[in-house]
Amino acid sequence: MGDTTIGVLGATGFTGRLVCQALERRGIRWIGGARNPARPILSSEVADSRQEGMRSPHALCNSRSEILAADVHDSASIFRLLRRSDLLINCVGPYAELGLPVVKAALEARVPVFDLSGEQEYVRRCAAFDAQARRAGIVIGNSMGVEVALSDCAAALAASGLCQVDEVHVAGAAKDFRTSPATRSSALGAIWGEGFTREGGCYRPAAVAHRIRQFALGTPFGTSLCAWYPGVECYTIPRHLSVPTVATYIRVPDWSPAMLKLAGRLAAVPHRLGVSPHSVGLLAAPLRLARNAAGLLGGAPGPSRPARFEIRVDVLGRTEVQLPTAGRRGDQTSQPCSSSAQRSVSVTGLDPYGLSAEILVLTAMRLLSSGPAVGRGGILSPSQVVPAEWLFSQLELLDDYDFGWRLTAPWSQESSPPPSPASSAR
């Protein structure tokens, strides 16, 4: 890593600062890009936030740091940052609104980019650049934050050894979770916009909460009600697993399924009326109100350090089994895909924002130290950028995040009944 420099776009944002701190702690040279490079990095907010038990994104004190003016709407400023970077970590969201110009510039400048996107619209539109990225041998790592990187890797781990994968179900839960402004915009945009689900190998539009299921999560969540939402895993997982059905769920309040479905339908009304959350300035005030009022999305003042999360990924598939042939005694022959298998991986930890920064830095270091990415370019999912086992083992070594993962026993051996799609409340 001696001569390399990692660029951080959005260095003055919540995650951007945590990424800069993680790079700084490891002695990696970095260069920041921010709309306002003069924005104080060390401020009195440090003391305040510590008092409140909040994670401080402001405790950055770096004699070597350099921050350039960079605005997504000013392409020259993005190219200036890219020219000084061996890899760019893009922490500027919402990505559906601000992400694509950075991808285009990075491909032109032939610099790899990682983002933390969780918005289907952005990930879908990125796919159009896959051929260009492959030809150039440039890695565009989509969705390298906690929310998607861990579920994408968990799906890869749960599916390993299966000869056929039929369904993947992802459920996420967080306790004491508060969000940054860009996360609230991204989440609202995702719920507001048109969401897609993957079923039987096809993508079809779906409303938030059109499916509601119970998932058996660990402490402190227990068996929880989870509602479908438009997660990006239905795009990232099929890039590396041949799987016809991928569904994403998020833990929701314990209301009746009918109430949850009504809430989901109401959330889709503005989109049906053709109103976009990004483009209608007139709606800015009610939008802000809605964002702050939404308990699900959290409100001010910002992400909390102790937030605990769990991501559970259930994979349904088939394993290859050996069956005796009718011939000589003792002969075995392979009967592919003849035994059904159900596997779950649960990933738990603390501090989704801090852990996202660590994931970005660890994966960036690994990509840069693995030499030229010839033949490895493309629009990639997290588990295509790095092996899932490697990432999980690196995260387990970190002190602050209480990170852990486990492959649970098949559902049939668990105390709770298997969550099967047939039991979904439709």
Ligand X SMILES: NC(=O)c1ccc[n+]([C@@H]2O[C@H](COP(=O)([O-])OP(=O)(O)OC[C@H]3O[C@@H](n4cnc5c(N)ncnc54)[C@H](OP(=O)(O)O)[C@@H]3O)[C@@H](O)[C@H]2O)c1
Q: How far is the CB of 98 from ligand X (least distance, A)?
A: 6
Q: How far is the CB of 333 from ligand X (least distance, A)?
A: 46
Of 178-186, 274-282, 367-375, 418-426, the window that binds ligand X (rule: CB under 6 A) is: 178-186
Please report, for residues 23, 82, 231, 278, the alpha-carbon distance to residue 267 in angstroms, rounded to integers and kept in the order given.
Answer: 39, 38, 16, 15
Of 34-42, 208-216, 309-317, 373-381, the window that binds ligand X (rule: CB under 6 A) is: 34-42
30 binds ligand X (CB under 6 A): no
Distance of CA 231 to the CA centre of its chain: 9
Of 66-74, 259-267, 318-326, 369-377, the window that binds ligand X (rule: CB under 6 A) is: 66-74
Query: In 3D, which of 125, 68, 75 has the Cα closest to residue 95?
Result: 125
Q: CB of 402 within 8 A of CB of 348? A: yes
Q: How far is the CB of 261 from ligand X (least distance, A)?
A: 25
**CB-based contacts of 151, cutoff 8 Å, min separation 6:** 170, 172, 231, 233, 237, 248, 311, 313, 347
Structure tokens at 99: 């992400």
Q: How far is the CB of 145 from ligand X (least distance, A)?
A: 3
Strand 139-141's sheet: what is its strand order?
67-69, 29-34, 5-9, 87-90, 113-115, 139-141, 378-380
DSSP-based three-state secondary structure for 95:
helix
43 binds ligand X (CB under 6 A): no
98 binds ligand X (CB under 6 A): yes
Residue 13 or 230 with smaller CB distance to ligand X: 13
106 binds ligand X (CB under 6 A): no
Residue 196 or 353 with smaller CB distance to ligand X: 353
Of 103-111, 154-162, 197-205, 352-360, the window that binds ligand X (rule: CB under 6 A) is: 352-360
Residue 258 or 289 with smaller CB distance to ligand X: 289
223-228 vs 212-216, strand pairing mode: antiparallel
Applying the rule CB under 6 A, the residues between 137 and 176 that interact with ligand X are: 145-148
419 binds ligand X (CB under 6 A): no
Q: How many residues sit close enough to ligand X to count as binding (CB under 6 A)? A: 33
Among 118, 298, 377, 419, binds ligand X (CB under 6 A): 118
244 binds ligand X (CB under 6 A): no
Whole-number Å distance between alpha carbons of 127 and 2: 33
Q: Which ranges of 202-340 does DSSP label H, i.e. alpha helix?
A: 233-236, 257-272, 284-293
72 binds ligand X (CB under 6 A): yes
Q: What sign does the dihedral 76-278-246-152 (CA atoms) show?
A: positive
CB atoms within 10 A of CB 361: 25
353 binds ligand X (CB under 6 A): yes
Please report, for residues 30, 200, 312, 361, the alpha-carbon distance to residue 26 in angstroms, rounded to integers and kept in the order given.
Answer: 11, 45, 30, 9
Among 1, 5, 29, 35, binds ligand X (CB under 6 A): 35
The footprint of ligand X (CB under 6 A) covers: 10, 12-16, 34-36, 70-73, 91-95, 98, 116, 118, 145-148, 180-183, 186, 352-353, 356
